[in-house]
Each structure stands twice: as C-alpha cells, then as structure tokens.
Amino acid sequence: MILIDGKKEAANLREELRKEVSSLKTKYNKVPGLTVILIGDLTPSQIYVRNKEKSAKEVGLKSEVIKYPDSVEEITILKKIYELNKDDTVSGILVQLPLPKHINKKKVIEAIIPEKDVDGFHPMNVGNLSSGYKSSVPCTPLGCYLLIKKVEPNLSGKKAVVIGRSNLNGKPMTQLLLKENCTVTITHSKTKDLKGECLKGDIVVAAVGIPELVRGDWIKKDSIVIDVGINKTEKGIVGDVAFDEVSKIAKAITPVPGGVGPMTIACLLKNTIECFKRLQS
Ligand code: NAD
C-alpha cells in the first residue's frame, strides 16, 4: 500500500515554485504578489491565512493580508478588490471564505478579475475549466489531482468516483479527471447506492464532510483513494474515509491530516505564479 505523503509532495512543489519565482524575478525584475482579504476574526480562517502568508514568503512571493472587521460594508470590500484588480504588483487576489452574512459571496467572487482569481471561483474560470481551456483551478482539487498523477501518471480510461458535488471540491475535481479521460461518476447526498458506486472506482475522491463515511468494503482492491474531508471528532481530526479499513484494501491512500491539506496551500502559490505569468503575456 502506498501512503500518499501530502506533506512531502507539498514541500517538493514549494521547492519547484521557489526556483520558478527566482527565475521569474530574473526575467521580469519583479515577483508574483498574492493579496488575501480577511474579514472578521474566525479562528480557522485566521490560522489558514497565516499559513498562506508564511508559505508565500517561503517561496519568494510578495504577500499581503488586508484585514477588515466583521462589520465592514460590502462596498468597502468591492472597492478594495477593484483597486487590487488594477494594481500591477498584485498577481493574485483571494477573499478568505466564509464571509459575514451581510456580504454577498457571488458579488465578491465576480468582482475579482478572472486573471487574478487564484481560487478559480470566478464563473469565467469555472467555464474555462469545464470547456477544457486554460483556467485557474480551485486549489484543493488541483492538489488532489497532482497527488493522483504522482501515483498513476496515465489515468486514461480509469473509472473515477467523486463523492460530493460542491463548487469548491467535487465539481472541479470531476472536470480535472474528465480532462484526463477518466470515466467519472459524481455522487452526492441523494445518490441511491453510494457503496455500489464507490466499488466501481479505480479512483475514489471523497469530499463530503462526514467522518469516516467511506468504509473498507466500499472500495475495490488496488484503487487510489483521496480523502479531502477534515472532520473534528472526539478522537481528533479524521477524514471522510475510514483509514484503518480502507488502507488494507486500496493501492494508495492519503492520510488525514498530512494528505490533501498541505497540497491546498502549495497549489494556491502555484496558481498565483500561473496568474503572474498569464498577466505578463
Ligand atoms: P460541502 O458541504 O460544500 O459539500 C459536501 C458535499 O457532500 C455535497 O455535495 C453533498 O451533496 C455531499 N454529501 C453530503 N452528505 C452525503 C452523503 N451522505 N453521501 C454522499 N454525499 C454526501 O463541502 P466541501 O466544501 O466540498 O468540503 C467537503 C469536506 O472537505 C469537508 O470536510 C471540508 O472540511 C473538507 N475540505 C478540505 C480541504 C482541504 O484542504 N483538505 C479544503 C476544503 C474542504
């Protein structure tokens, strides 16, 4: 069984990106810049943004966090985004979710120009991804995709089952696997026989948010299992996959923590660099 080491893969990716930033600096005499807007004082968002900032600096990106109180007006955020859209030193803009209730998420996402949308949430990027064109891809599914490709470079003809249909994870994951010529089944809370569907998968990606939903007898022998879930339980953080059971059957599996999570931030840095390169050309 291959234990897919997301920490190691993320460190390798950051090292590649560090070298790329250094050569971009030589070529353009400037470095890619990532600006994160953080609203309110939710602890998980604060920790996540702090980690993003630290990783961005490690690879040599220009990194900035703009903080607002929970009570900030929507118009203030929109005006800041319009300003950042025009700022040449900013290659990527990210507004940390979730937002306070009085701020319209759709308006905020659509205010960021697609060229600087490092989260890949803008409808233009979503459309480009589903049309098979170049686009920013949401960081978590991009990280999952890179991990799968490390285990199995040729995915053509493989049967992939994605559990969860969120815009953040399930849908973009499906598009990435389709692009690799997988036969993809997307499943969700209304799927009739989830176990039966999972049993058909050479690749199973679980992005649900239910602790240890996917059991050992749901998984075909020699499949690749990617666990996106992060669930707080009495026994600590667990994924959507019952690791002890599934790791006895699968060919390869990501642990939680230490699997998909570390790749998410590394992919945000990758997306920032990609935006920078697109903006230069
Ligand atoms: P979401 O709540 O937006 O979507 C969950 C999806 O699961 C929905 O499409 C729903 O239809 C489906 N679902 C719910 N119950 C189901 C069931 N019983 N059977 C089958 N499908 C079911 O969640 P999300 O934002 O996509 O996040 C999913 C999980 O991934 C969460 O645990 C979240 O914390 C985690 N997450 C991890 C990372 C990371 O970096 N590792 C990033 C984002 C989210």
Single-letter residue type at 103: I
Residue ranges lining ligand 1, Cβ < 6 Å = 140, 163-166, 168-170, 187-189, 191, 194, 207-210, 228-231, 260-261, 264
> Is 175 a catalytic site residue?
no
Catalytic residue among 80, 116, 119, 240: 119
Q: For ligand 1, atom 8, which residue shows the shortest CA distance?
A: 164
What are the C-alpha distances in Å from 200 to residues 74, 134, 174, 197?
46, 30, 16, 6
Ramachandran region, residue 120 (left: φ > 0; alpha: ψ -120 to 50; beta: rest): left
> Is 87 a catalytic site residue?
no
Instruction: Name the pTM for this structure.
Output: 0.97
Ramachandran region, residue 258 (left: φ > 0; alpha: ψ -120 to 50; beta: rest): left
Q: CB 128: neighbour CB atoms within 10 A?
A: 18
Q: Considering only CA atoms, which of 107, 119, 227, 231 is closest in space to residue 168?
A: 119
Q: Which domains does the chain have, with CATH numbers?
A: 29-113 (3.40.50.10860), 139-261 (3.40.50.720)
120 sits in which H/E element:
none
d(CA 198, CA 201): 5
Predicted confidence pLDDT, tens digits, the chain (281 residues):
999 999 999 999 999 999 999 999 999 999 999 999 999 998 889 999 999 999 999 999 999 999 999 999 999 999 999 999 999 999 999 999 999 999 999 999 999 999 999 999 999 999 999 999 999 999 999 999 999 999 999 999 999 999 999 999 999 999 999 999 999 999 999 999 999 999 999 999 999 999 999 999 999 999 999 999 999 999 999 999 999 999 999 999 999 999 999 999 999 999 999 999 999 98
What is the distance in A from the centroid of ligand 1 to the CA of 40?
A: 23
